[in-house]
Amino acid sequence: MEEGSVQQAHVHAPPEGFLRKHVFSLDHKVIGKQYYGLALVAVFTGMILSWLMRIHMVWPTAKIPLLEHLSSAGAPGGVITPEYYLSLMTMHGTLMVFFVLTNAPFAAFGNYFLPIQIGAEDMAFPRFNMMSFWVTFTAWVVLMLAFFIPDGPPISGWTSYAPLSAVGKDAGPGMQYGMSLWGLSIAIFCIGSLLGALNFIATTLDLRAKGMTLMRMPLCTWAWFITSCIALLAFAVLLPACILLILDRHAGTSFYVPGGLVISDRLQPHSGGSPLLWQHLFWFFGHPEVYIAILPSMGIVSHILVNSMRKPLLSSKVVIYSMMSIGFLSYMVWGHHMFLSGMNPISALAFSFPTLTITIPATVLTLIWLGSLYGANIQINSASLFALGFISMFVAGGVSGFFLAQPSIDIYLHATYFVVGHFHMVMGVASLFGVFAGTYFWFPKMSGRMMSEPLGKLHFWITFIGTYCIFMPFHYLGLIGNVRRYQSFVDDFMAPYLGVHKFVTVVALITGAAQFLFLYNLIYSRFKGKPAPDNPWNATTLEWSIPSPPPWNNFGDRHPIVYHDPFQYGVKGSKGDYVMQDSPEQVVPASGD
């Protein structure tokens, strides 16, 4: 004990034993990888659910082998029932939004790289950090249980609108126990996310290395920090919303269920509740959640672009301020999800205005990325391709937001495939492109091995083209009047457009299959990939100043001192055209500039 050795001085002892090293680890890097693993399982589950939905939509009588064993009531003989289609849709949305888009870009990469990038040896509260993962994991287990109970998963969609979500079995299959599991799972998830956000904020504020001023933090650290502030507010509101839902369902209260409501020929034993209350509380969380998903990817993409362009962005400060104003504005726009809820037209206008305002910082960000790319000699690899793909998705999916933000247009487009196409591109795929870019970029650091570039590029092109082929037609289908959440369109006015749906289904199967290339690349490279040097991308930030993979205590007994901002590219340094953040050398502009 007396030696004052590094081991005992570290915030926690070096991990010993399998459980401490890999399961209940206090090490932020292991916890980050655990989050990544959970997100990976969730994303493939969610993707397979979407396959099942797409197949059922265009071939409603198709027999899907094995599905009968999962749910004999939901898929008798392997044929999906209309109700089971809704169950699959609910689980797809819930898994993707909570366990993928919140976990992967924010919790997984944030946990792994935020402490290293600011020169800390670990998160502020390692035990809370471990708890937040295992609480999130419990939430996932509770949610997945819904597949294996006779009742099946709920049919209410990921938004679980009251009153149907609050009345129990009268609302349909899955709405009794399945819905209860959903509510419990999301409540647990909120607790995990709150613990995580608390940790991120305290770490960023207090544990920065000497010289690491706020403005010297890498852009992705900034994005994680802003996201954690958003998450702290958002999940602190979703948790009460879930508590009220659980009480309505199990304690006979009437927060959400109005009086005199008859569902399935039964008068519901509730009185006076407000279904709109759920929508307000849910969307007060739900809209910021969109930015919880996309902001970390914006940060990751900016981080990677600077590195592949070998020059700073036009203005990194404006990037930071734009991300901040997006975070701030995200709390003023939740009502734009409720234009059709019967709200006062004046409040619709009041929500429409900040929604349109939010496009200003978003456009500023895009212009900074594009303006910086102009004339840049960008190095093309899997990471930078996905970063460029992110910008493309963000713009293509974001532009339709201009239309949806206006109440008069939204009345027509509400709950159509136009909305589905919009949020899948701008929130779902764009954010995932950030995750893919981050994976190809940081995998060498996380595993000590390089990923296969040819496979990565193939993965990019199939995914990029596939995504456009899937979600662009959605916009046109929505304009035709194709309502979302309907299980099939074989015998209504949509029948002539079934060909479009068939095309989308086929492309979805191909694009989904390409994701297994990614999975193969990930697993193969983990064991057989080319060994990675400490700094394969000649990057400036602190994570590249330590070995790949990093030791348990990150910097060993070294306390990094930061001398520069992370944008010292295109300069003359001792190692090349860059100077690392912790390098004391003077920055000299490269000759010829």
Partner 1 sequence: MSSTIASVNSQTNALPPPKRASAQAALVYERQERVSSSGIWVGVFAITMSFAAFTSALFVREGTTDWGHLELPSVLYINTLVLLMSTLTLESARRALAAGPFGNIEGTRKASAWVMITLLLGLAFCAGQFHAWQELRAEGIYLATNPNSSFFYLLTFLHALHVFVGILVLVYLAGRLMASHTTFRRSLFDNTAIYWHFMGGLWVYLLLLCRMKL
Q: Which residues bind partner 1 (CB under 8 A)?
A: 1-6, 8-11, 124-125, 194, 197-199, 201-203, 205-207, 210, 232-233, 236-237, 239-241, 243-244, 247, 251-255, 258-259, 271-274, 276-277, 280-281, 284
State in angstroms the smallest separation of the CB of 124 from partner 1.
4
90: which residues sit within 8 A by CB, 6+ positions away? 153, 154, 155, 156, 157, 158, 160, 174, 182
- Which of 97, 281 has the CB closer to partner 1? 281
State in angstroms the smallest separation of the CB of 396 from partner 1.
34
Residues 298/365, Cβ–Cβ less than 8 Å: yes
Tokens linked to 547: 């070995």
Residues 114/214, Cβ–Cβ less than 8 Å: no
- Which of 14, 570 has the CB closer to partner 1? 14
HEC states along 497-530? Answer: HHHHHHHHHHHHHHHHHHHHHHHHHHHHHHHHCC
- Which of 305, 542 has the CB closer to partner 1? 542
491: which residues sit within 8 A by CB, 6+ positions away? none
State in angstroms the smallest separation of the CB of 194 from partner 1.
6
State in angstroms the smallest separation of the CB of 274 from partner 1.
5
State in angstroms the smallest separation of the CB of 92 from partner 1.
27
Closest Cα to residue 462, out of 508, 503, 419, 505? Answer: 508
- Which of 207, 532 has the CB closer to partner 1? 207
State in angstroms the smallest separation of the CB of 61 from partner 1.
45
Q: How far apart are CA 401 and CA 333, in angstroms?
A: 12
Q: How far apart are CA 278 and CA 523, in angstroms?
A: 42
226: which residues sit within 8 A by CB, 6+ positions away? 295, 323, 324, 327
Cα–Cα–Cα angle for 106, 111, 115, nearest 5°?
125
Peptide bond into 82 cis (omega under 30): no
State in angstroms the smallest separation of the CB of 557 from partner 1.
8
State in angstroms the smallest separation of the CB of 233 from partner 1.
6
State in angstroms the smallest separation of the CB of 276 from partner 1.
7
Residue 569, SS3? strand
HEC states along 187-212? Answer: HHHHHHHHHHHHHHHHHHHHCCCECC
- Which of 324, 483 has the CB closer to partner 1? 324
- Which of 208, 459 has the CB closer to partner 1? 208
Neighbour-count burial of 150, counting CB atoms closer than 10 A to its CB (0-12 exposed, 13-18 middle, 19+ buried): exposed
Q: How far apart are CA 25 and CA 342, in angstroms?
A: 50
Closest Cα to residue 560, out of 541, 573, 579? Answer: 541
Tokens linked to 168: 């129990």
Hey, what's the torsion of the CAs at 189, 193, 194, 197, to 10 degrees?
Answer: 180
Q: How far apart are CA 15 and CA 26, in angstroms?
A: 8
State in angstroms the smallest separation of the CB of 582 from partner 1.
16
Residues 86/518, Cβ–Cβ less than 8 Å: no
State in angstroms the smallest separation of the CB of 232 from partner 1.
5
- Which of 10, 526 has the CB closer to partner 1? 10
Q: What is the DSSP string of 168-189?
A: -GGG-TTTTHHHHHHHHHHHHH
- Buried b or exposed e, range 182-218, using 16+ CB within 10 angstroms: bbbbbbbbbbbbbbbbbbbbebbeebbbeebeeebbb
Tokens linked to 383: 């990471």
Q: Which residue type, as a one-letter code, is found at position 466?
A: G
- Which of 198, 430 has the CB closer to partner 1? 198
- Which of 3, 491 has the CB closer to partner 1? 3
- Which of 314, 343 has the CB closer to partner 1? 343
Closest Cα to residue 310, out of 386, 213, 384? Answer: 384
State in angstroms the smallest separation of the CB of 28 from partner 1.
13
- Which of 287, 311 has the CB closer to partner 1? 287
State in angstroms the smallest separation of the CB of 72 from partner 1.
36
State in angstroms the smallest separation of the CB of 360 from partner 1.
26
- Which of 203, 297 has the CB closer to partner 1? 203
DSSP classification of residue 130: H
> 430 vs 94, 293, 435, CA distance in Å?
18, 9, 9
Residues 456/440, Cβ–Cβ less than 8 Å: yes
- Which of 112, 256 has the CB closer to partner 1? 256
- Which of 11, 41 has the CB closer to partner 1? 11
State in angstroms the smallest separation of the CB of 480 from partner 1.
37
- Which of 70, 277 has the CB closer to partner 1? 277
